Structure 1
């Protein structure tokens, strides 16, 4: 900083080092202690507000070491830890420590990865990260793409590129209107809720979604998909894209991607794969056939903060033809002086954001630190633990194992003695398991989420956690049964 200017925001070299060393030391201790305490404290919003306090904005500055010590206390003592070995809840992985260090480095340099001139090296690192992610899942490194915040944005980015590529070209100037045939998109009934948002946001509308039935294995029925496409063509609708799931969020099922890709070629439709959770498992050699067809996709969504163990936020959109993103998102206002060279890669032309943080560095660093073989080991272990979870539930007389795919197991607690007649059984079990889940989440010994499968309310464990072990899975089974018995006894006493 210039010697003739002082600033309230500045820290001296000594002060920055002191606070930084304290922070790194305390984070190191936290990482070493994961598993000793609860996953979460289960405190209510009112309790947390009371702890945080209601003080007004300070008029004068507070010392950096005081702020950081309080922040550490607040976050370490009152958070949900997805790095905890018994966190099997929503699909947020335990973050690789190198990612946390990479985020600190990003914040220090603070590149704006919207334009090459504002982020020369960061842009090149993001380009390399995109190539590595494509290679990782087994598609051509010629795929282009962009790092985004997460699954919603990764899928939105691809959805709008598909609409630009397959809908009437006049839409870009004239907008969606009744002068065009109604657009139609096709997906399994298990597709994540992002598709409903995208249809609403981008002019297709909820009525433009064709929800295709699933077969007994949970995969989209290819026969129903083709019947629906041909019926729409006969009735004057305009099919534009099909979405295949590569690991649906409830059960981890992978659709028949090869058959979906073939249909898309036959009917000239955009083939998008939502692999936000599951597609990194394509790196496992024995699962190669399960993911057959991903190379036919026009676009793929994947989230490094799910199964590549990156800290939040890190999503990614990959596209077979990078020009489709430029056709969709590129604008050239007069105040942009960003195209002095044809070889410059400006990420504002590839997605929704102009100003963009440097998300790629933590992914780039982890990909190198762990390596392909390391990921094969870690992802494979997560799958093995999920299979163990399913097997233990199958063997237990008070548990019913429902599904197991990739690293997701669903199950439910089924007491040996239930009140009521057979007709009331399912309703009773649904209520019981919902109450059980709420109690487990509140107490924090384990954190699971839920899925509803063929009308059954299930507990759902998704393992994307490099700290989880066989011992944790065995203990989780015991925790579920113990708490299930307690909830069931309370419900019986109420009746």
Structure 2
């Protein structure tokens, strides 16, 4: 019979083998997973195993068939999504937590770093020192937690408790047309409904229009709706636009509405001194979110929500008494780390069981410091500006929206083609198929654009230049196929 504990002494050797396989993967010399789909499905699949094969043989399969057929997202040339491959220290810190802190409870070194890393991030991103946070699995849950706090606050002002008795009145959440769709999902999950999210117009740069917000709030006054929150973006997913935070904050304050800032992607941009003034008014927010698994280089699964008064999270999300927990821990004369739950994060959000996320963020910041983070942010913003500059100078390219952060929206143009949207869609598909440069696309005012987002720690200026060259080369080749005689 296979003995699970027998492998414990082999952990160093097994980790070394795994490290070698991951190192090979990070050379990005392997083909895309779809090139040999049948091979790895055969190796990994099959009927439910009756007998185990043991750790060493399984590690062989992982190294030969699983890791090499992973995602394209960590590639330095992949600029599609605002997630990326974790940095090496992020991987190592995560592994440390998986082994040594499998649960977010107790007075341990890992849980000490949960609170410390939240404090470090707040300081690094110029949040008020009074704002406290909680980690979750990413921006989706982080926005949910923030809007749950906003819902609690709005109803408490009416003498009602939505966490206890549910949503008893129709609600309104005000967000721009460029807001992330997780705002709508949060509204649905929190019982307010997706239709509670009222779309506010944006300007030509994708920023929420304060005057449009003011008009909508005035129109909704005395209608019976409960205004739950005004949501602003500190870096939209589409273009990296930063809403006029101070103006929006002042309007929200005038109407006594919770002011939430979604900085899942763009909050670290405040470290770039060239655009720091765009974050003026951030300190007026009632809640702010940021995803360390984006620009900070953490493994996917780490988001953070900050609120001015963390006690409201307890009122909104406390799970209530549980027989198996009550009395298990206390705060008097503690002699063992398991005698106290520590900070009651389990009552501040929607997760009871949760991994050690704080140690990962602590390691990321401790490794390169605030200065290193600033250099990374500035380097990536420079890449977006470089793409824009190269596109402006090339006769076959057009900048559709100037970059604010590390996103640049541009496209291939030609007077020989009537449908430029279709042409650029084809260009994008060829780029993805080729696999060297993998941007995404988006639609701006009816125009389909190529949309690289530079957030990967391993991505360099050369990758930005290669993308522009690849767009031009691919566009030229497609034109040549369309008009072979010209």
Task: Give the TM-score normalised by structure 1.
Answer: 0.89
Unaligned runs of 5+ in 2: 333-339
Match of 1:248 among 209, 231, 236: 236
Partner of 1:438 in structure 2? 429
Q: Distance in 1 between matches of 2:324 and 2:76?
A: 50
Pairing 1:64–2:64 present: no
Q: Which residue pairs with 2:330 in the alignment?
A: 340
The reply on whether 1:406 has 2:405 as its aligned counterpart is yes
Change (3 A) 1:399 1:52: farther
Q: Which residue of 2 aligns with 1:470?
A: 461
| Displacement after TM superposition at 1:42 (Å) | 6.2
Alpha-carbon distance between aligned partners in 2 of 1:42 and 1:18, rounded to the nearest angstrom? 27
2:307 to 319, 323, 327: 319
Contact 1:303/1:315 (<8 A) preserved: yes
- Distance in 2 (CA, whole Å) between partners of 1:252 and 1:27 is 32
Listed as ranges, the gaps of 5+ residues in structure 1 are: 1-5, 419-424
Structure 2: distance between partners of 1:491 and 1:52: 42
Q: Cα offset for 1:204?
A: 1.7
How far off its partner does 1:238 sit? 1.9
Work out the CA distance in 2 between the residues paired with 1:316 and 1:492.
52
Aligned pair partner of 2:126 in 133, 138, 146: 138
Matched, 1:275 2:263: yes
What does residue range 285-364 of structure 1 map to in structure 2 within 5 Å?
A: 285-330=273-318, 331-337=320-326, 340-341=330-331, 344-364=342-362
3-state SS of paired residue (2:228)? strand
CA distance in 1, matches of 2:137, 2:49: 31
Query: Residue 34 of structure 2: SS of its match in structure 1?
Result: coil
Relative to structure 1, the CA distance from residue 48 to residue 400 in structure 2 (aligned partners, 3 Å threshold; closer, same or farther) is: farther
Q: Secondary structure at the match of 1:408?
A: coil
CA shift in 2, pair 1:188/1:47, >3 Å: farther
Instruction: Tell me, yes or no, if the aligned pair for 1:144 and 1:319 is still in contact at 8 Å.
Output: yes
Distance 1:102 1:156 in 2: 26
Change (3 A) 1:51 1:88: farther
Report whether the alignment pairs 1:223 with 2:214: no
- How far apart, in 2, do the equivalents of 1:249 and 1:48 lie? 36
Matched length: 470
Q: In the alignment, which residue of structure 2 is the partner of 1:188?
A: 176
Q: Distance in 1 between matches of 2:480 and 2:149?
A: 54
Q: Deviations over 1:247-275 (max 9, x none)?
A: 00000000001111111211111110000
- 1:18 aligned to 2:13? yes
TM-score normalised per structure 2:
0.91
What do the CA deviations read for 1:85-110 (whole angstroms, capped 9, x no partner)? Answer: 21111001342211111111112113
Q: 1:286 offset after TM fit, Å?
A: 3.0
User: Structure 1 residue 14: deviation in Å?
Assistant: 4.3
